[in-house]
Structure 1
Amino acid sequence: MTLTIPQRNSLVQEYLWCIDSVIKQNYSLLKAAHLDRDDVYQSLAMRLIRAVELYDSDNKAGKTLKGYIFMSLRFALRTCSSAQAQYGFRGAPHYLPNAVVPMSALDESDPYWEMRIAA
């Protein structure tokens, strides 16, 4: 089923409450991972939009839109606490506590590191 943008936006507004529910259910995870609530909310809002766009009502598995949204948001919440999301490291392992990278390592691995940081 293909949605128009106004239809999609209407569904997203209807299910915005799901984001608050997932955050409330996993508040201890946010605190333990030192995640900013607003950053998590923004990530989950992007995932909500994507979930509404990707939902296939013709799917024979019988998952409702609400169920699909909750599943997507819970998965997105786990990726919010990943090292890549927290520190911006591509290819980083999922769990990388207290990551510190010396500037000399950046200089050795990429001669254009200063331009990449400035961008």
Structure 2
Amino acid sequence: MKNNYSLAERNRIVEEYLPYVEWVIRKNRALMKAAKLEYDDVYQQLSLRLVKAVCTYDPDKGELGAHIWAQLHFELMNCKRPLRTCGMTGLPKDYRRGNIVSFESIREDSELYEQLIAA
């Protein structure tokens, strides 16, 4: 961390700049639609980036608001693939959003069950 924010102060700053997440999404809604990104996923990803931006902010290199704005735009440009959204990079290549299966429905003799146990 390049700044001396306490946890409470960091949280206050994140809450103060949280509207930036909404502004970036609103400004780039056409891009999100073209990339088939879901609002909730992008909002979560940008919110996490906001926390990182506040933690990595270096006061010697410029204004906090400009740093956050740039970080959020950068993160939005990297939300291209649904598999990457929210850190889900370890999923199988054939994963689709509709392929969600509850743990209760997986039989013990299936290959997927073996993979879950190994993980």
TM-score, with length taken from structure 1: 0.70
- 2:72 paired with 1:73: yes
- Per-residue CA deviations over 1:43-79 (Å, capped at 9, x if unaligned) read 10000001011101122xxx21111001000111111
Distance 1:48 1:83, change over 3 A: same
**Aligned-partner Cα distance in 2 for 1:50–1:10:** 14
How many residues in Structure 1 have an aligned counterpart in Structure 2?
99
Alignment gaps of 5+ in structure 1: 91-98, 102-111
**Aligned-partner Cα distance in 2 for 1:117–1:52:** 38
> Moved runs in structure 1, 4+ residues, more than 4 A?
116-119
Alignment gaps of 5+ in structure 2: 96-111
The answer as to whether partners of 1:83 and 1:89 remain within 8 angstroms in 2 is: no
Query: Which residue is equivalent to 2:10?
Result: 8
- Per-residue CA deviations over 1:54-111 (Å, capped at 9, x if unaligned) read 101122xxx211110010001111111136515x456xxxxxxxx747xxxxxxxxxx
1:31, distance to aligned residue in structure 2 (A): 0.7
Question: Secondary structure at 1:80's aligned position in 2?
Answer: coil
**Aligned-partner Cα distance in 2 for 1:118–1:18:** 41
The residue identity in structure 2 corresponding to 1:57 is P
1:44-83 to 2 correspondences below 5 Å: 44-59=46-61, 63-82=62-81
- 2:115 paired with 1:115: yes
Distance 1:68 1:114, change over 3 A: farther
Query: Which residue is equivalent to 2:44?
Result: 42
1:77-96 to 2 correspondences below 5 Å: 77-82=76-81, 84-85=83-84, 88-89=88-89
TM-score, with length taken from structure 2: 0.70
The residue identity in structure 1 corresponding to 2:29 is Y
Greater length-normalized contact order (CA 8 Å, ≥ 6 residues apart): 2
Distance 1:76 1:116, change over 3 A: farther
Q: Identity over the aligned pairs, expressed in percent? A: 38
RMSD: 2.8
